[in-house]
Amino acid sequence: MGAVIGYQIRFEAERAPPLSLEGRVLEAGKRTPLEDIELRAQSEDGKTAFSRTDSEGRFRFAGLTPGSWNVLAQGPGLELRTETVAIQDGSVVSATFYLVRDELESSQFSE
């Protein structure tokens, strides 16, 4: 006879890491939202966090420690963009990234 293992999941909002950084990633010029863009945040002491944009180009990072963070945004056919943001304890930073189409990669399909 097999054993049955039950799990109970309980979400405790007060234990969830606070939101630190939120924003959008848009295509430069057109200002249209970019979906499925990878973002990586790296602190001065080497901590790393990842996020990805939704269908409206929105992203969120939670639990970033106070200090300076380099945030990189990249996607297929788009130039890499890096911004430095200052995270402060108890506040949420908003940022918008404008990514430029990589002309070299885009022109390969137009010839």
Give per-residue pLDDT as tens, 28-62: 999 999 999 999 999 999 999 999 999 999 999 99
Helical (H) or strand (E) element with 104: helix 103-107
Beta-sheet pairing, 67-74 with 81-87? antiparallel
**pTM of the entire structure?**
0.77
What's the CA gap between 25 and 53, in Å, rounded?
A: 7
Q: Max alpha carbon distance in the chain (Å)?
A: 66
